[in-house]
Amino acid sequence: MINPRGNGACPLCEQNSSCRIQNTLFNAMEGFSAKNDPMEAVVYSCPQFQEKRYDERTS
């Protein structure tokens, strides 16, 4: 899971859920998801980061 608690850069990024980097990380971690204690990742800095406009963050 990537940013499961809503912290880090991804939830604030315009590309959240449709990001190529996020999808690549998710696919690479997929093998861990079947375990009882899955791996979680939080992205704090990303070269593709594009901050959401204010109206997008509040909706």
pTM of the model: 0.71
Listed by start position, the domains of the chain span 10-57
Q: What is the pLDDT of residues 12-28, one digit of tens each?
A: 999 998 999 999 988 88
Provide the token pair at 38: 């899955």
Please state, in angstroms and as integers, the Cα–Cα distance from residue 20 to each residue in 15, 34, 36, 59, following that order: 9, 23, 27, 23
Does the pLDDT value for residue 54 go beyond 90? no
